[in-house]
Structure 1
């Protein structure tokens, strides 16, 4: 009999191991993250211009957190 969490664990492992060939990896994503954010703030679709970064942000938690933080810093109003 399998452990109840086995299927969820296997799904996470499979997601981790299955890399999308369009994924640009952390270094390239970080190099262009400010441009990606600027496009988003300007009302454009950054995923259209940089699909490899979009793929990477969906797959990489730390880079996604950086994106969200930078986007929040740029869009929040300061007193």
Structure 2
């Protein structure tokens, strides 16, 4: 990735994105809300924005949700 690519990616980042550390700190709550049919993205919009932008965190989310919902 060139410096220009990195800059363009940074500029496209959703300002609500809370980053990896904060998203991981509340991921279990986010997943529990999703599993219960609640609006997790509405309550934690910064986490939702982060999961859209961060592949590794989204993989953790997907795996945890699958474990919780047995799916």
Same fold (TM over 0.5): yes
Gaps of 5+ in 2: none
Answer with 1 or 2: which has the greater Rg: 1
Q: Verify: 1:41 aligned to 2:35, yes or no.
A: yes
What SS does the aligned partner of 1:21 have?
coil
Distance 1:41 1:72 in 2: 9
Counterpart residue number, 1:55: 49
Listed one character per residue, the Cα deviations across residues 27-49 of structure 1 (whole Å, up to 9, x for unaligned) are 00000000000000111010010
Q: Which of structures 1 and 2 has the larger relative contact order (alpha carbons within 8 angstroms, sep 6+)? A: 2
Q: TM-score with structure 1 length normalisation?
A: 0.76
Between Structure 1 and Structure 2, the one with more helix by share is 2
RMSD: 1.5
Q: TM-score with structure 2 length normalisation?
A: 0.84
Task: Write out the 4+ residue segments of structure 1 that deviate beyond 2 Å after TM superposition.
Answer: none
